[in-house]
A and B are shown apart, each in its own frame.
Chain A
Amino acid sequence: MKNNFVLLIVSAFLFAGCGQATDTGDESQDMATTSFADVYAAAEKALAEANARRNVWSKTEEMLSDAKTAFDNGDDDAAIDLATEAKLQAELAVTQADFEEDAWRSRVLAE
């Protein structure tokens, strides 16, 4: 009986896991209630941090300025999408810099 229960739990997880794997993380519901100004401010903050770490990815700054342009042109959805992506990329660049702070040592050639 106990084994059956474990199996059920496991299969439930498998099921749930697969459901998530095909979910591409649609954030449109959140976006409707998120203001562009908030996302943009968060992206700017993340970008400033990445700049301070001297590790900005190539497209991030352009993406954020494109977001501003889209917003000025009244295309709020595109503006929020772009600003969100810029924020995520800036955060990932900071994560990368954090990780590399120690990781580089493991690659140093030694005799």
Chain B
Amino acid sequence: MSGRTERTMGYRVIKKILPLSIFIGLTFAASAMAGPEEDRLAIVKYYAERFPDVPLQEFANGLYAFDEDAREQWIEMEDFPPYEIAIEDGQALFEAPFANGKSYADCFANGGIGVRQDYPYFDTDAGEVMTLELMINRCRESNGEELLPYQIGDLAAISAYMAYTSRGNTINVKVPQDNPAAVAAYETGKQYYYTRRGQLNFACISCHLQSAGLKLRADRLSSSLGHATHWPVYRSKWGEIGTLQKRFAECNVQVFSKPLEAQSIEYRNLEYFLTYMSNGFELNGPATRR
């Protein structure tokens, strides 16, 4: 994990160009069914038409897909990425055994290495969406450990390490169409995404779909396509690494809306929908953002 090649993989990934045909071709057969695949293809098509010069995989790099100046600074930052400490801390935390002798590895498939692409998933028995971060805390809970805060700190670091071991894997979120509860969770997330809220009356799409690539003050708005590939993120504005749901809460605040609780049903369903929209993208987290 200390090798420069590995470290700069986020940068390397952006240089790969996945043709549109792979994104659309992969799931052509499924598109006949109503639901998530149609939604995803519509979104892929929307950005591909709106930004014909941006290679599709580039959308995983947020605003840097559109902003040449910001992109140069960002690539420079990747030489000594500020999230690196979080990866190291996260690895140490991940490997440290619980008081009962077990560890995180016992809670996840493949010992928790390279599994991020399968999250979130719909837990049929529990009847709810399971995110990676929630699973980390559920693991702690079932082993008699205290819960960690969801937005920053140790949990974000563990998540960063798990993202790091998953780099290059292709996001593969599933919404089983034969499970009405899973479909309903996805639909609720989709509704949240399109719903205007807060005193300023914005929906997620107002900024990240309709206005992607435009500037709010000096900040360029990222696209929703590829939004879920690179978490957790070290944001210069935060000065620390934080989870995707920390960003949800921040977005809420920015439109003058009281944020919901991290890992609330609503945020989890939104993450389920949003990550599904990034299916087919390679994971490239953790990452840095302005």
Q: Which residues of A contact B (CB under 8 A)?
A: 54-61, 89, 93, 96-97, 100, 103-105, 107-111
Contacts and interface: CB of A to CB of B under 8 A. Distances in A.
B195 A109 contact: no
A100 B198 CA distance: 12
B205 A57 contact: no
Nearest to A58: B256
A100 B195 contact: yes
A104 B45 CA distance: 20
A54 B266 contact: yes
B256 A59 contact: yes
B257 A107 contact: no
Given A58-B258, A104-B196, A108-B194, 5 more contacts: A55-B257, A58-B199, A96-B201, A104-B195, A109-B39
Nearest to B264: A54
A93 B201 CA distance: 10
A56 B253 CA distance: 11
Contacts of A100: 195-197
Contacts of B190: 108
B196 A57 contact: no
B251 interface: no
Contacts of B42: 109-111
A58 B196 contact: no
B88 to A, nearest CB: 36
Contacts, number: 55
A105 B256 CA distance: 22
B191 interface: yes
Interface of B: 38-39, 41-43, 45-46, 190-191, 194-199, 201, 203, 205, 209, 253, 256-258, 260, 266
A1 B241 CA distance: 77
B265 to A, nearest CB: 10
A59 B41 contact: no
Given A104-B191, A110-B42, A55 B197 contact: yes
Contacts of B191: 104
A107 B224 CA distance: 15
B195 A58 contact: no
A109 B197 contact: no
Contacts of A59: 199, 256
A40 to B, nearest CB: 19
23 contacts: A54-B260, A54-B266, A55-B197, A55-B198, A56-B257, A58-B198, A58-B199, A58-B253, A58-B257, A58-B258, A59-B256, A60-B258, A93-B199, A97-B197, A104-B191, A104-B194, A104-B195, A104-B196, A105-B194, A108-B39, A111-B38, A111-B42, A111-B45
